[in-house]
């Protein structure tokens, strides 16, 4: 099963944001244990580097720490390229957040099974099923018991 994680889910885990950390951590553990394939887009990796730098602002070696986070993610998840067609197709998706429309378009082209997000309102017109981390956990546990 391939699951595209929305950026907010990744940040919740990286920054241990409550109350979302535990469900996100469970998903990352499933990815690390190869129970599912976690996916991010190349654009998300750039965004996550930006957020990681912000998180480490005021500490030594900010860029080095941010690159370490990205290196860890690159070793854990499948990176999906966003193509020009994804950007073009995203224009036609009813969505107030164009960035999420691109995510939907990429997920659809890549035949991802689910998008996991904390912003379901941004995915209402997604052809790919979307779930919150808490909604996804029962599916994950069901897969574990098979």
pLDDT in tens, the chain (146 residues): 999 999 999 999 998 999 999 999 999 999 999 999 999 999 999 999 888 888 887 778 888 888 899 999 999 999 999 999 999 999 999 888 999 999 999 999 999 999 999 999 999 989 999 999 999 999 988 866 66
Sign (positive/negative) of CA torsion 21, 23, 24, 28? positive
- Residue spans of alpha helices (H) in 6-56: 7-14, 21-32, 42-56
Distance between CA atoms of residues 32 and 129, nearest Å: 22
DSSP 10: H
Q: Which domains does the chain have, with CATH numbers?
A: 2-145 (3.40.50.1010)
Our CA dihedral for 101, 105, 106, 111, rounded to 10 degrees, sits at 140
CA 24 to chain centre: 10
Q: What is the pTM of this model?
A: 0.91
């Amino acid at each position: 099963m391939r699951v595209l994680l929305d950026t907010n889910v990744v940040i919740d885990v990286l920054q241990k944001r409550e109350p979302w950390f535990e469900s996100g951590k469970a998903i990352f553990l499933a990815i690390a244990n190869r129970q599912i394939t976690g996916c991010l887009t190349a654009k998300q990796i750039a965004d996550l580097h930006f957020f990681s730098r912000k998180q480490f602002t005021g500490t030594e070696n900010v860029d080095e720490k941010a690159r370490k986070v990205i290196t860890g993610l690159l070793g854990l998840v499948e990176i999906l390229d966003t193509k020009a067609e994804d950007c073009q197709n995203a224009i036609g998706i009813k969505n107030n957040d164009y960035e999420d429309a691109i995510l939907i378009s990429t997920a659809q082209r890549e035949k991802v099974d689910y998008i996991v997000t904390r912003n379901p309102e941004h995915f209402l017109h997604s052809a790919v099923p979307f779930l919150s981390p808490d909604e996804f956990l029962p599916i994950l546990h069901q897969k574990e018991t098979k």
